[in-house]
Amino acid sequence: MEKLLTRLLLLISILGVCSSRILAAVPDARSISAGVAMELMFDEHRTAKPKSRALLQRKTFLDLLKVSKERLQLAFVIDGTDSMGTDIRSVLDSLEPTVESLRRHKDGAENVSFSAVVYRDSEAPSGPVRCPLGRQFTDNVQTLRDALSGIETETGRPYFPELVDLGIMEAIQGLAWEEAADTSRWILVFGDAPPYKEGYRNEQQNAQRHYSNEQLVASATAKEIVISFVLCHSGFTKQLNVNDQLVRTYEMALPRTQAFMQAVSTATGGVLWDLTEPDLREDLAQAITRTPVRYQRIEGITPDDVIEVRSVAARDDLDVRPDARLRIAVLPPLPLEQMTFDSENPAVQVGAELRERLRDIPRVEVVNAHLVAATMTQLRRSGTARDQWIPRLARDLQVDYVLWGNYDRSGDAVQLQSVFYRRVDGPGQADAIRLADATETMRPGAGSGEGSLVPVVANRLLRNTAAELRRSGADENTISVFSRIDEDEDLADEIAAPVSSNVRARRELLAGMDLLEQAMAYPKGSLKATELLERAVLKLGAAAMLDAKNPLIHAMLANCHFNLARTDQSEDHSQKSLESLKTAYELRNNASSDAVRLEIEADYALLVERDVAEAISIYEMMLLEPDRPLQLRRALRAHWMLAGIYCGDWDVPSSFVDPDKAREHILQVLAHWGDSPEATFYKDAFEWEENEGMQKHYVPLENSDTLHLASDR
């Protein structure tokens, strides 16, 4: 009887109080609907806050997908009584994005099919149970929508409990489930009331419990059916001051509803999302406001494909081949016992500038600072003898050289010593070889001061190392890399140019660059990445005030703001990113190298001018560089940007989308920069297995909407 009074809620929902689309604009955590939950449960890119308990629940739904089979049958079992009107409408609102997510996870519409069962109570005019699609499953979303659209809410008489047990058993026994070994079978129940108590029977009211929990579980288990639940929050009537008696009835029955849903979902390997939990509702209210991510399908990539790309590089004598490149790890020039990776430390800033110098050298690959710090920290905690830290670091990171030294700012002079250690492998060879070193002292007023100390030492160190390698009979590839400065005047000028001629700006810039590099090693949206990016913005902003005409600073600021905008969908960060990029472009001729200038011009063409053809041309030029060997850092960035463009990211017109070309550039990243953040992004998207390769085929296009935030402003 009490459920009849909730028809007022249906009128309110028609006026638009509680659909998921309206929630997307003005989320209200108190009235989160079943449709919002359904849309987000399979969406790995619109997630809850990491600290929330609700995130663990949502990950469980995604984990169900990860362990599910190639094909999926999903039956919606829906409470069709009056109090569910709002939730049924919201499920219809969210049907398309939910189906799209499942199809993506299962790689195609033909691999996912749906059916539906509607249950009520014994006095419902349409009867206690109905199957809108009959016994069949369909992979046609419009057919499913038409079937669900035909659900009309009816009375839940005679009592608040409903025949959910009858609805679930009808789905288990009455639907045409496939028996194929490659098919997972799921039931997803939406309801707000418990079944009658086990053994309950009232012939006068025609009310009874038909199936026990044990019977439901046994029947589902026999067919390998997983049952999950969304406990809908009919209690939102309380805030609307509608039928306080119904609210009290709902709340009194809630523990029984929770216990039933938890027992059946746990026993069948399913999940319960309890929308009565404030934390979960709050997380969903925030997540639904985030713009859904689009995807591009990429044809399969296997480990053999990666090996083939490497083989071609070796056969054609390309600069990206492993034996042509040098892999270097840079430690801050500090005593090992005092080793820190704090960006505020002057020695850590020196390490950041040394990394920047080395990355300018063709065929040199410098290990990400975060990976070096993590590996070194682990070594120090492992109990490894101190004299083995450098050799172990070299072997654990699989680098050819470790750069380490000492930085002394005591007294009236600043002294920097840098030393290359070559990795030694083989039985009985435990020590890294101290190969070459360079030491320089700067006094206030000498030359350009402390700002030129690092480039001077780096220049001398590289020349010393080249001479040492010639004496030791090293291979020509290695010698040629270190000899490049003697042979290439332009490169020598780049190495000799300070990142900033202003000493104070240099410190802020290097701290900001170090923070940005660390942030890129964390997943997008993580609290740590956001913290590091925000600190980097402060440092780089200070550097820009001190050295306003330095294009590198503004380019780094653009990068930081863009990554922050991707995290929090902030118009402010998006706009600041484009403003910083415009400033960098205006100052591009002040860049210390053609490579920096080209990168700024390419980003400007793509993100500001929206001249995609010009951007492609410049990024491809960064890959060719006919007059000198390849700069690995620029090549990785070019492959990354070209892959995004050909996937359709960056809001490029559809005429530029070419999944085959995108696949080629993705393969290059996976083959030649396998431990980079860029490769990690693709491996995560593809659920990459080292022995099997790609498990999923879709790349998320995360950047287009960030651009819209700025352009729509």
What is residue 235's DSSP assignment? Answer: G
What are the distances in angstroms from CA 250 to CA 2, 192, 236, 254? Answer: 10, 8, 11, 6
Q: What pLDDT does 55 receive?
A: 45
Residue showing tokens 């079943």: 34
pLDDT digits (tens, 9 = 90+) for 238-272: 444 455 676 777 788 899 999 999 999 999 999 99
Residue spans of alpha helices (H) in 316-431: 346-359, 369-381, 389-397
Map residue 543 onto helix, strand or coil: helix
Angle 390-393-397 from CA coordinates, rounded to 5°: 150
The rounded distance, in Å, linking the Cα atoms of 270 and 540 is 48
- What is the average pLDDT value for the chain, to the nearest integer? 86
Could you report the per-residue pLDDT of 139-167, keeping only the tens digit for each?
999 999 999 999 988 877 777 899 999 99
Q: Tell me, what's the pLDDT at 708?
A: 52
DSSP 3-state of 154: strand
What does the pLDDT average to over 677-700?
A: 93
- Spatial separation of the C-alpha atoms in residues 33 and 284, rounded to whole Å: 9
Has residue 5 got a pLDDT over 60?
no
- Dihedral of the CA atoms 172, 175, 181, 184 (nearest 10)? -70
Q: How far is CA 417 from the centre of its chain?
A: 39
Q: Is 18 in contact with 236 (CB distance < 8 Å)? A: yes
Q: What is the Cα–Cα distance from 24 to 33, expressed in whole angstroms?
A: 11
Q: Answer with the residue of higher pLDDT: 15 or 698.
A: 698
If 0-12 CB within 10 Å is exposed, 13-18 middle and 19+ buried, where does residue 307 land? exposed
Residue 576 pLDDT exceeds 50: yes
Residue bearing the bigger pLDDT, 474 or 334: 334
Q: In what order do the strands lie in the sheet with 272-274?
A: 129-130, 112-119, 71-79, 183-191, 225-231, 272-274
Q: Which among 247, 248, 263 is positioned nearest to 212, based on CA atoms?
A: 263
pLDDT band at 626 (very low <50, low <70, confident <90, very high): low
- The whole-angstrom separation of Cα 139 and Cα 113 is 4
H-helix or E-strand containing 327? strand 326-330
Instruction: Report d(CA 450, CA 458) in Å as an integer.
Output: 13
Answer with the residue of higher pLDDT: 14 or 569: 569
CA separation (Å) from 311 to 58, 304, 321, 494, 632?
42, 10, 8, 32, 18
The pLDDT of residue 702 is above 90: no
Backbone phi and psi for residue 139, each to the nearest 5 degrees, phi listed first: -105, 10
Which residues fall within 8 angstroms of residue 707, CB to CB, at 6 or more apart?
574, 607, 650, 651
Q: pLDDT tens digits, residue range 515-534? A: 999 999 888 778 899 999 99
Predicted structure pTM score: 0.84
Query: Which of the four pLDDT bands, split at 50, 70 and 90, describes residue 80?
Result: very high
C-beta neighbour count of 617 within 10 angstroms: 12
**What are the pLDDT digits (tens) for 83-92?**
898 899 999 9
Tokens representing 392 are: 């172990």
pLDDT at 707: 59
In this structure, are residues 632 and 619 in contact, taking their beta carbons and an 8 Å threshold? no
Are 555 and 596 in contact, with CB atoms under 8 Å apart? yes
Rounded to an integer, what distance in angstroms lies between the CA atom of residue 194 and that of residue 213? 12
**Distance in angstroms (rounded) separating the CA atoms of residues 666 and 109:** 25
Percentage with pLDDT > 90 across the chain: 57
Helices (H) and strands (E) in the chain, counts: 29, 15
User: HEC states along 592-606?
Assistant: CCHHHHHHHHHHHHH
Mean pLDDT of all residues in 160-188: 96
Q: What was the pLDDT predicted at 396?
A: 93
**Residue 168 banded pLDDT, cuts 50, 70, 90:** very high
Q: What distances in angstroms separate CA 622 from CA 598, 610, 632, one per listed residue?
A: 7, 19, 10
* pLDDT in the model for residue 20: 35
Give 513's contacts (C-beta < 8 A, 6+ positions apart). 352, 356, 499, 536, 540, 556
Q: Return the pLDDT at 45.
A: 81
Percentages (nearest 5) of helix, strand, coil residues in the chain: 55, 15, 35
Number of other residues whose CB lies within 10 A of the CB of residue 140? 12
Domains and CATH numbers, the chain: 2-292 (3.40.50.410), 325-498 (3.40.50)
Is residue 425 predicted with pLDDT exceeding 70? Answer: yes
Across 543-559, average pLDDT: 97
Percent over 70 (pLDDT), the chain: 88
8 A C-beta contact, residue 193 and residue 168 = no
Residue type, 368: N
Using the Cα atoms of residue 75, residue 79, residue 85 and residue 86 in order, give the sign of their dihedral: negative
Whether the predicted pLDDT of 10 surpasses 90: no
Two structure tokens written together for 533: 């990016």
Distance CA 521, CA 90 (A): 38
Strands 364-366 and 326-330: parallel
pLDDT given for residue 315 in this prediction: 92
**Pair of tokens at residue 443:** 């006094």
**39 near 98, Cβ under 8 Å?**
yes
pLDDT for the residue 424? 82
- Of 10-14, 121-125, 139-143, 390-394, minimum mean pLDDT range: 10-14
Question: What's the mean pLDDT in 693-713?
Answer: 74
CB 89 within 8 A of CB 13: yes
pLDDT of residue 427: 56
Q: Is the peptide bond before 303 cis (omega within 30 degrees of 0)?
A: no
CB 251 within 8 A of CB 235: yes
Q: Return the pLDDT at 24.
A: 37
Tokens matching residue 85: 């009107």
Report DSSP letters for 5-43, one per residue: GGHHHHHHHHTTSS-HHHHHHS--GGG--HHHHHHHHT-
- Output the six-digit token pair for 218: 């046994």
Does 713 or 601 have the greater pLDDT score?
601
- For the record, the structure tokens of 442 come out as 């700067």
Chain length of the chain: 713
Banded model confidence at residue 46, pLDDT cuts 50, 70, 90: confident
pLDDT digits 0-9 by tens, 629-653: 788 999 999 999 999 999 999 999 9
* Residue 471 confidence (pLDDT): 83
The per-residue pLDDT for 628 is 65
Q: DSSP assignment of 33-91, as one string?
A: -HHHHHHHHT-TTS---TT-HHHHHHHHHHHHHHHS-SEEEEEEEEE-BGGGHHHHHHH
91 within 8 A of 159, measured Cβ to Cβ: no
410: confidence class by pLDDT, cuts 50, 70, 90: confident
Question: pLDDT confidence of 227, banded at 50, 70, 90?
Answer: very high
Contact indicator for 402, 412 with CB cutoff of 8 Å: no
